[in-house]
Each structure stands twice: as structure tokens, then as C-alpha cells.
A and B are shown apart, each in its own frame.
Chain A
Amino acid sequence: MVFERKDLLGTRDLSAIEIRSLLESAESFKEIAERPLKKVPALRGKTVVNLFFEPSTRTRTSFEIAAKRLSADAVNMSASTSSLVKGESLLDTVDNIQAMAPDILVVRHRFVGAAHMIAERVGARVVNAGDGANEHPTQALLDLVTMSEHKRVGPGLTVAIIGDIAHSRVARSNIWALTTLGVTVRICAPPTMLPRELDKIPGLIVCERPEEALDGVDVVMMLRIQLERQDRLLFPSIRDYARVFGLNRQRLDLAAEDAIVMHPGPMNRGVEITSEVADGSRAVILNQVSNGVALRMAVLFLLGGQGHE
């Protein structure tokens, strides 16, 4: 295995070899979910702390199941019960957790760079489970695992990412990982949700309209629209967004015949994706969720497992 890092903070700095190693390792963990006894002793005696400063049910559960299937002791700590409400600084909170000698911290935080800050502070290994709009590496990697089940992920593949790019860590982590592997990435968002100067990133094609982004594409990745953003004058209404940018059957027909449809969840049915598409034969959305556990097992194993005994 080629993964020598202390932490997994993002996909931006990962090499193609590192990404491939993580994906291969995830493949080997998939099978555990099929066993009657879904447990291996790989991380027995290791402590994994899920440090969630932002509410998240799915990601936290996925990491927790991954840790438990590796026999690690998984502890959840969420912001609502944390000291943040008491006015303690992030670094003080982290120092306290470090003092309890965990092996791996899985960190979700609403601000950019929080996981990086923690990683520089502690001896424990850190997995970024989402920092603001910056990175969500395990999501991108599980997306790659899912794509690999249907496509050859490399040059020749075209992926369209459609939605609120500006505020999406999922989009960013996917952009870095996919472009590193030589995949062509098309980006489409309302201009109000498209970061300026995104077009300076090599390997990205920015499309104005979803029709353009979808044309002959192999993979369609729809992003969640955060409904509360409506207050921030970013788009006129949910109805208008769904009309212009939502993925429906007619639009999906523009994609390649064997195109797959992905969504990082949770979905707003009828907004960025119609139920017909989300529940249709080309959707691999629940496979993403299953693969999430395998990929996270791989990440926890590579960071905390035998390689580092």
C-alpha cells in the first residue's frame, strides 16, 4: 500500500498512486459487509473519536460503522454536547481529547482548515470528514469507488458536477481527485454559485447550462442545494432552480446511454433531482452509501492499522 501520510485532510495533495491505493484497499473491505459476522480485528484496541463540530448523521454513522467493523473503539462527540457552547477554543477542546490518547480523530467542522489546524496540533491521526466548503476527501473517494464499479476512472471518462459548487466541499474534493486521475470534469452551477476564477483550475470545463454539461457525459453528479441559501439572494426560488438546473428524465437523456447518476445526499427530491431519476435504474446513490463504509474502513485501516504498528 502506498499511503504514508499521518493524516487524510484532502484530495488536493494526493498523488494518483495514493488515490489508487486507497481505492484498491476499499475494494478489499467491501466483502466484509456481506459476511454474517461483519467484523475483523484489524484495529482492535485502537480508539477512534468522531469529533463532529457540525451535525451530520450519515457521515458520522458511516465512520462509526467502519471503525466498529474494524474492531476499533469508536466514540462520538458532537458539537451540541461539546465545550464549544461553553466558550472553549477549538485548540483547547482538541488538547483535551488528545490527552485521552485517541489513535484517530475523525473531524467534521463548519470552517475551512479546522482539520488541518487539529492535525498540526495532535499526535493522533486525523481524517477530515468535511471542513467548511473546502474538502470532504472520503466522500470523493467513495464516489470514485462507486464510479469504478461501472466505469474505468481515468482519461477518457467525463464527469459532470452540477449544483452549488461554491459552497460544496464534495465538489472540490471530487474535482481534485478526478483531475489528478486524468478524468475530464465539467462543472455547472448558477453563476451566483460558481466561484470566480474556478476556470483557472486545469482540467475543468465550466458549462453555463446543464444541457451543455450533460451532453454525452458518463457520470452525472448532482449536488444538494441548501434550501436556506435562498435567503442569501443566490437564486430567485427553489422552483426556478429546479426548472433551470434540476436533473429530470429529459435532461438525463442527454447523457451517455450508460451514464450513472450520483448524489452525495441528503437529496432534495423535486429540487436538484426528480424522484423518477433518483429512484431510476441509472442511479447509484445507495451504492455510494454502501461503498462509503468500505472506503472509510480502508482509510482508518491505512492510517491506524498494522502498517503503523
Chain B
Amino acid sequence: MSSNASLLLKNVRLIDAGQNRDEKNLDIFLRDGKVAEIGSSLNLPADQVFDLNGAWVMPGAIDLHVHLREPGFEHKETILSGAEAAVAGGFTSIACMANTNPVNDSAAITRFILEQAASAPAKVLPVAAISKGMAGQELVEMGDLAAAGAAAFSDDGKTVANSKLLRHALEYASIFNKPLLCHCQDNDLFAGGVIHEGMISAAHGLAGIPTLAEDVDIARTIMLAEYLKVGVHICHLSTATGVRLVRSAKARGVKVTAEATPHHLFLDERAVVDLAYSEDLDEHVRPQQLRYNTATKMSPPLRAAEDVTALREGLADGTIDAIATDHAPHEATEKAVEYELAPFGVVGLETAVALGLRLVTEKVLTPLTLAARLSLAPAAILGLDDRGSLTIGKAADLMIIDPQREWVVDPGKFRSKAGNTPFAGWRLPGRVVKTIVDGRIVFNL
């Protein structure tokens, strides 16, 4: 179906934080790739009409943090396979990090990513590196990259250790209105670490990554933004202290935003030694290896139970603006190695929204705050005013959710090339059944 076609979604529950609207029995009319009309009992001629029987319609989720691995690591994921995974999980826009090979530090690479993404089902937003080669030495050509279509700047996976360089990056990027997405980590405190430094690392002899490694760098990043009076975004908060630092910075007016991942919101360090510690896993898809399973290895690591509690509080009160996946696909054989040798990272695109629904059933979020964390806030952080909400005239990017459709996470059925999820065997309460991008149905369960 072409994007100038029209689509009428009947009998939906619209949940849109941008309009502060959670309303049942509505019809939504999409035309020319945009939201054209919202009302009850709309009687408009449309190319396609769906009676959705009370299903939820939310703005398409926007992921501030994915790794699509192309160019360079196409065996892990491609822009196309990553975008297919995205729409299968309800994401209509995804910001892809620069740690490809070559690194996305030049307009040519940004253009390549956009070209590859032209035929992909989701909107792909290339994030350019902050420093050339992500080496932390020299700034990339931010003006050229912004003109080529870079949506943001980040040396994700590494931190810009040189504070003067980070200062200049924050100052220079601000004129293009493109955010800096900061992976906060003190490299020396982090070095050699494998899992959270805590009870499990102490008991099992795995080298610890202290919360301190993240917290000192969050403090530094906030201080820079405060001093320079510019905005900054903190990637994947994982610690209680990090939440406290962001909360107090926001209270004094610092333009800081933050994201958290579903895995940090649902799992703590105990998962490293027992993947089934918190869940009754479905026996058909549960992983054989529950202890030292490398699907629990990511950076930042799964933290202590009290950190998870603090993240949930921060997500509920808005200290944490966005849920982002940090989708980090790896080939199965790359993860099927000794725990200490395994690469960091887990996939998340196909489970994040459903885990978000679980946050609603667990009363951490309301449906409206979930929509804010998944769509409205990420759009605002990236300065995308054509999406993130379903007000009339915005892009018809949306997800249709059946909140009663329980399902079991089965990595074997992922659209992503990779299955490195710590949630295999989880029963989730609802799922995305259709995803629409620019008025086109790009995923249909």
C-alpha cells in the first residue's frame, strides 16, 4: 500500500501523552502518511478499514539507542534486519549508534546508513560519533554530519574521557540543535570489570564494575552541561546514585535528560548466576544454561536490587525521560564463550514495548506515562517535532497493541539476526499486533 492511501482504525483506545489523552471508543483516520482525523464514529471513505475492538493505539515507539552493526558487522545485524526487529516490537524510529566499522564519523557513512535504510520498514536515525574514530581525540565534522542527516552525536560504548573535548563537543553541537548522547563511564574504574561489583561478583570471583564508574562520569557530564548551560542526554542509567544525580540536576534547572533500558528495569545481578531467579520461565524456550549465561552480560551491567528499585522510581517520576533498548545484537557463537570473554550487549527491540506493558500491569507506569517514555520524550530529546504524538498533522507512526495477548519470549522467532536476550521464556502480558509507519502497515502479527 502506498503512503498516500488512507486507513481508518475503528474502535480503539488512544493513548497519547502528547495530547494527554487516554480515551476509549475512538476512530483514527490516517491519510497521506499523516494523522488526519480523530473522533468517535468517523464515517470516512478509506482504502482500508480495521475494527480494532478496543485495542490500544499508541504513537510508535522511538528508540534512542540501538546498534544496527552495519557497516562492518553484518553477521550480527543489518540495518534491514534491525529495522524489521524494530517494527515487530512497535518501534517506528530507531537511532543507531556510531560504533560500526568504519565508525559513523563522516557524512559519507551517515549517507550510506540512510541509503540502506531507505527501504527499511522503520525510520532509521543515524547517530554520528563525537570524536573521529570514537578515539576521543578530535571532534568529528559536526556541521557536515548534521547536514547529511545525523540525528545526534555519541561515542557510545566509550566515554569521551577528555573533559575539554567533551566540553567543546557540547558547545559546538548545541548550535545544530542535535543532542549529545553520553555513555557515562570512567574507563579506569571500569577497566577489567565483567559484572556489577556487589554480592554476586564477591561470591563468584567475577571482576566487578563499580557503580562508581558510572556515577563519577554522570556527575562530570552534568557539571559540564550545567556550566555551559547546554543540554545533554545520559544513556542507559543503571544506578541509584545516577538517578539521584539526574533528579537533583533537573531540580536545579540543568537541561539533562536520561534513558533506562528494560533489562536494567527488570533484572538485577542475581540473573548472572540464575537466569530464572525472578521468573517462572516457559520450559520450551528457557535457556539450557541458567548460570553464567552470557545473555546477562552487558554494559552497564545488571546492578543490585536497590538500583532496580531506584530506576523504577526514576522512570515513574520522570527523572528518567525515556525507555531505550541499547539493542546490541551479537552472533550466537560470539556469545557462546566463557563469560569473561563474551562481548557486552543484549538485544531489546522485540521485547521492550511488551516489557513496558508489564510495567503498566505492575503499576510502575500508567499507559500514558508509558507512551511518554516510549515516544513523546524520545522525540523531544531528538528534536523531532513530526512524531512522538498522534495529534492531527503528525506522521502516522503508531503501534497497535493487544494488551490481553499474552505471549512467551522466544528468541528463535525474533526478526533480529540475534537472539541474545535475557528474557527468553518470559511470559509478557500484551503485545504489538500492528505497526504503522507513515500510514503504511509495516508489521502485522
The minimal Cβ–Cβ distance linking A179 to chain B, given in whole angstroms, is 12
Q: Which of B198, B338, B340 has the most CB of A within 10 A?
A: B338
Taken together as a complex, chains A and B put the C-alpha atoms of A126 and B199 apart, in Å, by 27
Residues in B with CB closer than 8 Å to A169 are: 205
Instruction: State whether A109 touches B199 (Cβ < 8 A).
Output: no
Q: How far is the CA of A132 from the CA of B292 in the complex (A)?
A: 13
- Is there contact, CB below 8 Å, between B289 and A120? yes
Within 8 A of A (CB), among B173-209: 194, 197-199, 201-208
Given the interface pairs A89-B336, A91-B336, A132-B206, the reply to whether A112 lies near B292 with Cβ below 8 Å is yes
A111 to B339, Cβ gap below 8 A?
yes
Encoded as 1 (CB less than 8 Å from any B CB) or 0, chain A from 108 to 131 comes to 010111101100100000000000
Shortest beta-carbon distance from B269 to chain A in Å: 10
Which single residue of chain A is at the shortest CB-CB distance from B192? A232
In the complex, chain A residues whose CB is within 8 Å of the CB of B207: 133
State whether B339 touches A113 (Cβ < 8 A): yes
Which of A28-36, A195-203, A236-244 contacts its partner? A195-203
A90 lies within 8 A of chain B by Cβ = yes
**Which of A89, A117, A201 has a CB less than 8 Å from the CB of B203?**
A201
Within 8 A of B (CB), among A151-175: 166-169, 172
Highest count of chain A CB atoms <10 Å: which of B201, B204, B208, B288: B204
Closest 8 CB pairs of A and B: A133-B205, A195-B202, A113-B292, A111-B338, A134-B205, A111-B340, A197-B199, A198-B202
Point out the residues of chain B lying under 8 angstroms from A89, CB to CB.
Answer: 333, 336-337
Main secondary structure of the interface of A (DSSP, over half): loop
> Given A113-B292, A197-B198, are A167 and B338 also a contact pair (CB < 8 Å)?
no
**Cβ contact within 8 Å between B198 and A134:** no
One of A116, A167, A196 near B198 (C-beta < 8 A) = A196
Give B207 Cβ to nearest chain A Cβ, in Å: 8
Structural contact, A112 and B204, CB atoms closer than 8 A: yes
Can you list 25 pairs linking A and B with CB atoms under 8 Å apart?
A89-B336, A91-B336, A91-B337, A111-B339, A111-B341, A112-B292, A112-B339, A112-B340, A113-B204, A113-B292, A114-B338, A116-B292, A117-B338, A132-B340, A134-B204, A167-B205, A168-B205, A195-B201, A196-B197, A196-B202, A196-B210, A198-B202, A200-B199, A200-B202, A201-B202
| A198 contact set on B, CB distance < 8 A | 202
Report B146 CB to chain A, min CB distance, Å: 42
CB proximity to A under 8 Å, residues B236-290:
288-289
Q: Smallest CB–CB gap between B177 and chain A, Å?
A: 42
Task: Please name all residues of chain A whose beta carbon is closer than 8 Å to the beta carbon of B337 when the two chains form the complex.
Answer: 89-91
User: Is B358 among interface residues, defined by CB-CB distance under 8 A?
Assistant: no
In the complex, chain A residues whose CB is within 8 Å of the CB of B132: none
Does B111 sit at the interface, judged by CB under 8 A?
A: no
- Are A195 and B338 closer than 8 Å at their CB atoms? no
User: Which residues of chain B come closer than 8 Å to A195, judged between CB atoms?
Assistant: 197, 201-202, 208
Distance in Å: Cβ of B424 to nearest Cβ of chain A: 16
Whole-angstrom CA separation of A109 from B339 in the bound complex: 12
Name the B residues within 8 Å of A132 (CB-CB).
205-206, 340
- Bound CA–CA A214/B337 (angstroms): 41
Residues of B near A197 (CB, < 8 A) are 198-199, 202
Distance of A120 Cα from B339 Cα, bound (Å): 14
Residues of chain B within 8 A (CB-CB) of A120 are 288-289
Give residues 1-43 of A contacting B (CB, 8 Å). 12
Residues of A within 8 A of B206 (CB): 112, 132-134
How far is the CB of A169 from the nearest CB of chain B, in Å? Answer: 6
- Cβ of B394 under 8 Å from chain A: no
- A78-115 CB mask vs B (1 if < 8 Å, else 0) is 00000000000111000000000000000001011110
Is B291 engaged at the interface, CB distance under 8 Å to the other chain?
yes
Q: Which residues of B contact A91 (CB under 8 A)?
A: 336-337
Closest to B195 in A: A112
Residues of B within 8 A of A112 (CB): 194, 204-206, 292, 338-340
**Least CB distance, A128 to chain B, in whole angstroms:** 12
Contacting residues, chain B, for A111 (C-beta < 8 A): 338-341
Interface hub of A91, A111, A167 (most chain B Cβ within 10 A): A111
Chain B residue with minimal CB distance to A132?
B205
A200 to B305, CA, bound (A): 14
Looking at the assembled complex, report how far the CB atom of A224 sits from the nearest CB atom of chain B, in whole angstroms: 15
Q: Please indicate the chain A residues that have their CB under 8 angstroms from the CB of B201 in the complex.
A: 195-196
Tell me the bound Cα distance from A198 to B207 in angstroms: 13
Contacts of B203 in A (CB 8 A): 12, 172, 201
Q: Which residues in chain A, 54-100, are within 8 Å of chain B measured between CB atoms?
A: 89-91
A169 vs B204: C-alpha distance in the bound complex, in angstroms?
9
| Docked CA distance A235–B199 (Å) | 23
Known: A91-B336, A112-B205. 10 other contacts (CB 8 A): A91-B337, A111-B341, A113-B338, A114-B338, A120-B289, A134-B204, A134-B205, A172-B204, A195-B202, A200-B199
Q: Which residue of B lies closest to A10 (CB)?
A: B204
Q: How far is the CA of A126 from the CA of B144 in the complex (A)?
A: 58
- Contact between A196 and B208, CB atoms less than 8 A apart: yes
Q: Which of B309-352 contact A (CB under 8 A)?
A: 333, 336-341
Q: Which of B201, B202, B341 has the most CB of A within 10 A?
A: B202
Q: How far, in whole Å, are A166 and B202 apart by their CA atoms in the complex?
A: 7
